[in-house]
Amino acid sequence: MRKNIFIVFLGLISLSACKKDFLDQKSPNAVTVDQFFASPNDVQLAVNGIYQSLRSGSNIGEGSGLYTDQRSDDTGTNDNQSNAGEPFQFGNFSILPSNSYLKGHWGSLYQTISRCNVVTSNIDKVSFPSQDTKGQYLAEAKFIRALMYFHLVRKWGDVPLVTKQLTSSEEVLANTSRQPQATVYAQIVADLKDALTSTLPNLQTGAGLGRVSKAAINGLLGQVYLTMATTFENGKADNLTNASTYLLAAYNMKSFGTLASIPYADVFDVTKKNSNPEVIFEIVNYQGNINYASSIAADNQPFGETINSRKAPTGVGGNVTPDLVLDYETGDPRKDFSIKYAADTRVLDWYVSKYRDASDAAGVNGYGGNNCPLMRYADIILMLAEVNMLQGNDGVAIQYLDMVRARAGVPLYAVARTDANYNTKYPTLKLAILHERRVELAFEHQRWFDLLRFFTTDELVAYFRTKSQSNFGNAKLSNFTTKDRYFPIPFDEVKLDPVKMYQNPGY
């Protein structure tokens, strides 16, 4: 049996696709997919399994910054051992197709897609008392499938596209072929528009926190169209119009008045997470639960520090680049909340303090209750600023930009422009919006994707080359070239079929 994509695509269906061995025997205790999907509760369990797969650091959970934040200019590994091992390749722009972490990320994303496909391929076998319930489960599966492909297409470009359950090696091999980005984006849009026809609530509350909502679907669809507008020249104006439409739809579903009514610190206060009106979509964690707790607070805490967690630190914590530290404006409270300086002689560096849980409930094991934010309203508002800027509506763009700056308590854009330092660093509205997204959404796995939207590949290379190596840590800026726009296709996948699974340029 072929490995890698084959194993990934089969995922859940390994329970049903029992390959005959030379004895032609089957386990009497095996449960096939046909047998499993017998009731609405079975569908719910399968959908819950899709959500569960997102939690992994190899997927898009809290530990997935290796594939986003460390790929950008926000975080890195800056201790004496940071230039050793495969993780360093991501921030050092020296990643190899054989990197096992890269292969694990690719495989985890496709495993989640496989779980989604199992639901969409089998849900019609189940009788539902309410078609609304069926539609909601289908919408959740399609939203997450779209989200996974959105990650894949931005990170790798052309990727295999499968939207059905695969039950044989022949089917898998027939679908092991990279598809054009435009085809992948078309499927992402189709899935999200289908999901919008469901009766999912505008926003999830109570027991529904962490599940997909109409606001999340609209928000993701708006981001997809915005990304398409900056990826494809054809249809740019229409994509921007659609981005504005869906982002506004998400914005208009908010349950609060102004963003300034929600203190920035409250957004990440673990004691207020169940009543946070800014959240749209997140991965929910549970304090004290060994299986479903957050470890981000403890993992980011370096020697000599106690603000993040009661768990005793064992390392240097989550490194923050000086390049990001210097991007915070004087007096921006988001800096004091999001990052701290560790004065311990074993560290002497900045670390992430944005996610904290030093409560008794989290305990000395660091089983925190911090949720992992995937989409919140400040993100939507700043994308609306970005869309309007690209459409030439600078006045409207500034209004959205100022919503976020007003909440942060920093000078509004017109006033900030009178500051020579601000005006020198951000001479255009485009760079001002990019800066605002960076300091507002730091460590929320957005920065790398923002850079890809705001710059062409050549512009991005030039942007990185203007940065100071001394503000970037051990990773070498000189390594960054046009090849780093995309990750390499994992070596084992190319080996399956070098023609259909062709490698990205430069690798």
- How many Å apart are CA 373 and CA 383, to the nearest integer? 16
Residue 345: band (very low, low, confident or very high) from pLDDT cuts 50, 70, 90: very high
Query: pLDDT > 90: what percent of the chain?
Result: 89
- How many Å apart are CA 85 and CA 490, to the nearest integer? 17
Arithmetic mean of pLDDT over the chain = 92
In single-letter form, the type of residue at position 53 comes to S
The helix (run of H) or strand (run of E) holding residue 117 is helix 100-122
Equal fold, 1-17+36-200+475-507 vs 202-284+371-454: yes
State in Å, rounded, how far the first CA of the chain is from the last one.
27
* Per-residue pLDDT, 21: 40
- How many Å apart are CA 492 and CA 500, to the nearest integer? 13
List, for residues 50-81, the tens digit of each pLDDT value.
Answer: 999 999 999 999 999 999 999 999 998 766 55
| Residue 115 contacts residue 145 (beta carbons within 8 Å) | no
Q: Is the pLDDT of residue 424 over 80?
A: yes
Domain 1-17+36-200+475-507 has CATH 3.40.50.150: no
* Per-residue pLDDT, 27: 52
Q: Is the pLDDT of residue 505 over 80?
A: yes
% helix / strand / coil in the chain, to the nearest 5?
Answer: 50, 5, 45
| Residue 177 contacts residue 245 (beta carbons within 8 Å) | no
Residue 9: band (very low, low, confident or very high) from pLDDT cuts 50, 70, 90: very low
Domain boundaries, given as residue ranges, for the chain:
1-17+36-200+475-507, 202-284+371-454, 286-370
CATH code matching the domain that covers 202-284+371-454, chosen among 3.40.50.10490, 1.25.40.390, 1.10.645.10, 3.40.50.300: 1.25.40.390
List, for residues 170-224, the tens digit of each pLDDT value.
Answer: 999 899 999 999 999 999 999 999 999 999 999 999 999 999 999 999 999 999 9
Question: Which sign does the torsion angle of CA 491, 495, 499, 500 carry?
Answer: negative
- How many Å apart are CA 377 and CA 434, to the nearest integer? 16
Helix/strand/coil (H/E/C) assignment for every residue in 406-473: HHHCCCCHHHHCCCHHHHHHCCCHHHHHHHHHHHHCCCCCCHHHHHHHHCCHHHHHHHHHCCCHHHCC
* Per-residue pLDDT, 201: 98
* Per-residue pLDDT, 83: 56
